[in-house]
Amino acid sequence: MKRIIFSVFIVCTAILGCKKDAILTYNSTDNIYLNYSRPDKPNGDAIVFSFAFTQGVEKDTIWLPVAISGKKVNHDRKFAMNVVDGGTTAVRTLHFEPLKPFYIMPADSGTTKVPVIIKNIDTGLTSKSVVLTVRVSGGVDFGSSLPENIRTKSIIYSNRLEEPDWWKYWGQLGPYNRTKHQLFLISSGSTSLVIPNSSPNWYMEIPRTLYYISNMHEFVTYPFDWVKSHPEKGYVLVKRTDNSGDYGFYNVNAPTKKFLLKYFPAADKYVFIDENKNQINI
């Protein structure tokens, strides 16, 4: 009998315990943060962007993923995103469009994306980078108690190219310079080449890489033929008016950014010249 009573007591205790757990609710303030996979580093790993990859573009949009720490609700909620002056060298209206007073987390959603519009109207961006640092905060409907490093993001951008990791692995391209890099992008349409031993199957990318390098060679060797064969690219060769016989190569959407195609009478040959006044040969 005592055993039966004890068993009933255990069952009742378990039932009461379950009921007590069931009425527990989430009462913490919902927070908001930038949803990146590596929030452990300062500013959560900066985004690096260059307008040099696309000629003639005056602005572009960086989409920042925002997520909530808390519950979804059945109505829209407002949050804020502001520029962090101490981490910003970009100038408002010159380098980026002002942020909105608030942004919306849609109803029944735990994530959204905020557009940050950066601008390419400063000619100085061809020789320098600027930094725009933003931080998301609670605004009207959320808290701001999460660590700053997961609520903050820096965007570093310019209108110039930097040497990519893969360049040094492909000797056919020769020493790096920004003019050669830009011409490679124009001729290949690719922003990267495979790095040897970077993955188990890296060697399968070799034919594609050699194809891009071959295209680059044909382009710098026979630029007039390339322009005729690729009218969809929007590039033209216009003879200079200084009686030098040289040409300017540029995109019709970016006529101020010209590449020099110099004529060498002794060899009766045209050669691209880089920013260091050296010949470009592949």
* pLDDT tens per residue across span 69-94: 999 999 999 999 999 999 999 999 99
pLDDT tens readout for residues 98-118: 999 999 999 999 999 999 999
Is 278 within the bounds of a domain? Answer: no
- Please state the domain count of the chain: 2
What is the Cα–Cα distance from 261 to 116, expressed in whole angstroms? 37
Residue 242's domain comprises: 167-273
Q: Are residues 47 and 149 in the same domain?
A: yes
In CATH, what number is assigned to the domain containing residue 38? 2.60.40.1740
Domain boundary among 103, 133, 158: 158
Strand duo 59-69 + 31-34: pairing: antiparallel
pLDDT band at 43 (very low <50, low <70, confident <90, very high): very low
* Spatial distance between the Cα atoms of 156 and 252, rounded to a whole number of angstroms: 27
Indicate whether this model's pTM tops 0.75. Answer: no
Do residue 70 and residue 177 come from a single domain? no
Q: Are strands 77-83 and 130-137 parallel, antiparallel or unpaired?
A: antiparallel
Identify whether 62 is part of a domain: yes
Residues 189 and 206 in one domain: yes
Could you tell me how far CA 277 lies from the centroid of its own chain? 30
Does residue 219 form part of some domain? yes
Q: Which residue, among 58, 75, 57, 77, has the nearest Cα to 66 in the 3D structure?
A: 77
Residue 7 forms part of a structural domain: no
Q: Is residue 115 part of a domain?
A: yes
